[in-house]
Amino acid sequence: MDNSSSQHDPRVRADQIDDGLFRCGSLLIGMTGSVGVTLMPNYVAYLRQQCARRVTVMMTRSAQRFVTAYAMRIYSGNWVFTNTFQVDGDIKVPHIELTRAADVFLIMPADANIIGKAANGICDDLISSSILASAAPVVFVPSMNRVMWESAVVQINVKRLRKLGHYVIHPGPGHEVADLQPTFGAMPSLPNVLIQLRDILSQKADSPRHACARDPAPQTICANDDHGRLPANPSDGAART
Instruction: Tell me the residue number closest to ligand FMN, measured at CB.
Output: 33
Helix axes 126-133 and 112-119, enclosed angle (nearest 10): 40
Give CA–CA dist 80/57, Å, rounded: 5
Smallest gap from Cβ 122 to ligand FMN, in A, equals: 11
In whole angstroms, how far apart are CA 77 and each of 5, 37, 109? 23, 18, 20
Residue 101: CB minimum distance to ligand FMN, A = 23
- Nearer to ligand FMN by Cβ, of 112 and 238: the residue is 112
CB 126 within 8 A of CB 83: yes
Q: Name the residue nearer to ligand FMN (CB basis): 17 or 169.
A: 169
Residue number with CB closer to ligand FMN (12 or 177): 177
Q: How far is the CB of 170 from ligand FMN (least distance, A)?
A: 16
3-state helix, strand, coil in the chain (%, to 5): 40, 20, 40
Nearer to ligand FMN, 111 or 215 (CB): 111
Q: How far is the CB of 105 from ligand FMN (least distance, A)?
A: 16
Q: At what angle do helices 112-119 and 152-163 cross, to 10 degrees?
A: 50
User: Within 13 A of 169's CA, how many CA atoms are on the CB side?
Assistant: 33
- In the complex with ligand FMN, the residue whose CB is nearer, 78 or 113, is 113
In the complex, what is the shortest distance from the CB of residue 74 to ligand FMN, in angstroms, rounded to a whole number? 21
Q: Which residues lie near ligand FMN (CB under 6 A)?
A: 1-2, 32-36, 60, 62-63, 111-114, 143-144, 148, 177
